[in-house]
Amino acid sequence: MPTHYQGTTEEILALDAFIKLNRSVIAVQGRLLPALQREFGLTESQIAVLEALKHLGPLQQGELCQKILRSGSNVTTVVDNLERDGLVQRSRDESDRRIQVVNLTEKGRELVDRALPVHVGRITDTMAALEPEEQRELGRLCRKLGRAGESK
Amino acid sequence: MPTHYQGTTEEILALDAFIKLNRSVIAVQGRLLPALQREFGLTESQIAVLEALKHLGPLQQGELCQKILRSGSNVTTVVDNLERDGLVQRSRDESDRRIQVVNLTEKGRELVDRALPVHVGRITDTMAALEPEEQRELGRLCRKLGRAGESK
DNA sequence: ATCGAATGTTTCGATGTCGAAATATATGGA
DNA sequence: TCCATATATTTCGACATCGAAACATTCGAT
């Protein structure tokens, strides 16, 4: 699994870490998402929205963008599909009619209450490949990397 | 940026690391991919294919699946678009006509030769948020995590 | 009070992504 | 030789994803 790329030592080190970072996410999600789809009919984005609503209550779509780190147009699509499936409900904010407030339906709440513990259990099992101290260190490094150039 | 999820200590630790891992990839790619698209008109999958062909020579589509970690149907789509843009060329293997061999065109080689150094430079800059020793450790942890349950 | 700028959302067109089914070809055994 | 099975790719339908443009609404300055 070498890098193949001819470059400086610095570039090879960076590229190697970058590739392993990306592959680890693909590998981990590849183990989680098919099960989530099969058992609960949910995609990654869908459970992210449902989880945010469960823990934070009704949210504006713009707030959902922040939470799930996706574009506005994407949130429109994901919420469209959740609404079609009866898991969430949109309502216009009365004091500012530009705003769509998204909330869980009873069906949505029931589903996320069932799915989330199972999903978190699988995440925990997967992450258990690393010792607790390694998980902490991975978290620290990822946080540092993600934060860098955040203000841009 | 806490987890909100109510669970065991083990679950909270795992979920926290998992979330930071995912977010770091989104953040890093969010800095790299718009520039790649703007300057060279390439997506992540497209440059992954071009890079594999540059370093490994002509490949069967099935081999490309392995290299870029995507499904067969996805590789068909990505190669379709690259072929339409004149960057790669397909040819049937004469001894086994099921196989499509994909190769760079001159235009494709010229583009990847131009784009790759710039892209790798940006990756290097981004990863420079971590010290060299931290990059090595991140690589080690991601590799360990990605490898777990690999055989399955 | 009005109008232009700002803000929140949707639409549109393109690409990526998957799994299942369909298609094309090859291979091995009867 | 012929056919069942295996392998490589494509097709299909669904969802995700983005950025730009359109749309709706609010807000501020005049």
Q: Is the CB of B79 under 7 A from strand D?
A: yes
Please check the confidence at residue B151 and state whether its pLDDT lies above 60.
Answer: no
Test mutation, B16, B23, B74, B120, chain A, max A CBs within 10 A:
B120
CB contact under 8 A, B143 and A18: no
Q: What is residue A152's predicted lDDT score, i.e. its pLDDT?
A: 40
Mean per-residue pLDDT, B31-52:
97
Mean pLDDT for chain B overall = 95
Q: Return the number of CB contacts < 8 Å for A and B.
A: 185
Do A138 and B20 contact (CB within 8 A), yes or no? yes
Pick among 3.40.50.300, 3.20.20.140, 1.10.10.10, 3.30.1490.190: CATH of A43-146: 1.10.10.10
Distance from CA of A72 to the nearest CA of B (A): 15
CB contact under 8 A, B21 and A148: no
Please check the confidence at residue B131 and state whether its pLDDT lies above 50.
Answer: yes
Residues in chain A where the model's pLDDT stays below 70: 1-3, 151-152
B80 CA, D11 C1': separation in Å?
13
Q: Which fold has domain B9-124?
A: Arc Repressor Mutant, subunit A (1.10.10)
Per cent of chain B over pLDDT 90 is 92
SS3 B20: helix
Higher confidence at residue A4 or residue B2?
A: A4
Q: Tokens standing for B91?
A: 């040819």
DSSP A27-88: HHHHHHHHHHHHHH---HHHHHHHHHHHHH-SEEHHHHHHHHT--HHHHHHHHHHHHHTTSE
Please check the confidence at residue B74 and state whether its pLDDT lies above 90.
Answer: yes
Per cent of chain B over pLDDT 70 is 97
Please check the confidence at residue B50 and state whether its pLDDT lies above 90.
Answer: yes
Test mutation, A55, A138, A147, chain B, max B CBs within 10 A:
A138
Please check the confidence at residue B1 and state whether its pLDDT lies above 90.
Answer: no
A72 CA, C3 C1': separation in Å?
28
Q: What is residue B152's predicted lDDT score, i.e. its pLDDT?
A: 41
Please, which pLDDT band fits residue B149 given cuts at 50, 70 and 90? confident
Q: What is residue B53's predicted lDDT score, i.e. its pLDDT?
A: 98
Mean per-residue pLDDT, B66-90:
98
Enumerate the domain spans of chain B: 9-124
